[in-house]
Structures are given as structure tokens and as C-alpha cells.
Amino acid sequence: MDVINVVLADDHVLVRNGIKALLEDEDGVKVVNEASDGKEAIDVVLNTNPDLLIVDIRMPEYTGIEVVAALKKAGSEVKTMVLSMHDSEEYVLKAIQAGADGYLLKGASKEEFLKALNKIAAGGKYFTGDVSNIIMNAFVENKSQSDLLKNKATEIPFKLTKRETQILHLVLELKNNKDIAEELNISKRTAEVHRFNLMKKLEVKNLKELSSKAKTYGLV
């Protein structure tokens, strides 16, 4: 049986040691290297070419999502599993957009962890239960909006300012208020106000609704 060579990336030594201890008892799995921040994770993967990278979503230098995106851009074929304490829609969709092969919550059982690891290493995808629901809901809603566009021309009942249009695109790129402020050279508070006004004008409550309405009216 081929051995799955794994790199662990997490800024907490105890977490890495815990995962290593879990995997030491498993045949066919070997932790070949570790990284304590995002930059180190990228360097280690590109230099050692492991089969699988298990990466924390919150790390110094680069986040786990940024690590996944950077590796994809560099042409690495490593499989990636993002570990997170967060099951928020924003994190999940951002990880998928970056190209992650799996998204698993840190509270997962040993059985689920190993199931995810083996499935991803074999070329499959694995998203834990709550995460799968987020993906499915986004797919269903986007499909229904797509069908609406095919069957009926939709007039835009509102007018966005140039700044609101900029904010819309940045929000849909999953940038937070700090990132938006830096990109547009405005204060974080101003970015928050623009984002609030945009959501209010489009009558949406979250990112999923904003994305769907933007597609409905052809704004993206």
C-alpha cells in the first residue's frame, strides 16, 4: 500500500503534536514535515512535494486559505485539507474558491478526520456535515437565480453609486472591511458604512443573499 506523505501546518505546537500522535498509529500515513506559519507551509510543500497538506485556517504570515491559493497558483498538485474552528459561510466559500479539497472542523471525531484524510488523498473531496449544507444551499439558490434569469428579464429596482459598485465586487471577493479599506484607501469605519448601505439598498442580510441578488441583476 502506498504511503500518504503528510505536511502539518499549524501555529500551535500542541495541535500539530496531537495530529501527529493520531496519525502515528495509522498504517500508510506518514507526517514528513511541519510548518508553524503560512509562509513556511508554502516553502515546505514546494520543497518536499507531499501528497497532502493539512493546514489551519488561522496562521501568521498567510492564512490557510491564502496558502492553498498560493500553492494552486504555483502549480503544486498537493491535496489540501483546511482545518478550522469556524463553520461560517464566508470561510467555507473562500476556502472552496481558493481550491481546497476539503474543509474539516477541529471538533471532528478521529473517525471523521481519518475518513476525510483518506478520501482527499485518494483524489476526492470532503466537507464536514454543516459545511456541506452551506455548499448545497449556495448551489440551490444560485441555480434558482440562474433559472430566473433564463426565463425572465429582471429590471434593476435600485441604482448603485460607483463606490458601492466597488464595495460590492470586493465583498463578493470575500474581502473583510479592513482589506476593503486598504484597497480603496479609506478608513475601516467608512468601509463598514458603505458595506452596510450596500446591504440595505439590496435588501439582503448575508453574503449568500448578496451574491445571489448580484447575479440576478447582472451586477457581477
Torsion of CA 148, 151, 172, 95, to 10 degrees: 70
Q: H or E stretch including 122?
A: none
Residue 155 has pLDDT above 70, yes or no: no
Instruction: State the average pLDDT for the chain.
Output: 83
Q: What is the pLDDT of residues 95-111, one digit of tens each?
A: 888 889 988 888 888 89
Residue linked to cell 489551519: 56
Say what the pLDDT of residue 36 is: 92
**Given this model, what pLDDT does residue 7 score?**
95
How many whole angstroms separate alpha carbon 105 and alpha carbon 73?
25
Is-contact 128 104, C-beta < 8 A?
yes
| Continuous H helices in 86-173 | 89-98, 110-121, 129-151, 162-172
Residue 138 pLDDT: 52
What is the third-level CATH fold of 4-129? Rossmann fold (3.40.50)
CATH topology of domain 154-216: Arc Repressor Mutant, subunit A (1.10.10)
Identify residue 99 by its one-letter amino acid code. G
Q: Could you tell me the residue ranges of all domains in the chain?
A: 4-129, 154-216
Q: 49 versus 202: which is more confidently predicted? A: 49
89 vs 24, more confident: 24
Say whether 110 sits in a helix, a strand or coil. Answer: helix
For 28, the grid coordinates are 500508510
**136 pLDDT above the threshold of 70:** no
State the CB neighbour count (10 A cutoff) for residue 94. Answer: 22
Q: Which residue has the cell 504511503?
A: 3
- The model's confidence at residue 152, banded by pLDDT at 50, 70 and 90, is very low
- Do the Cβ atoms of 9 and 35 come closer than 8 Å? yes
pLDDT beyond 90 at 25: no
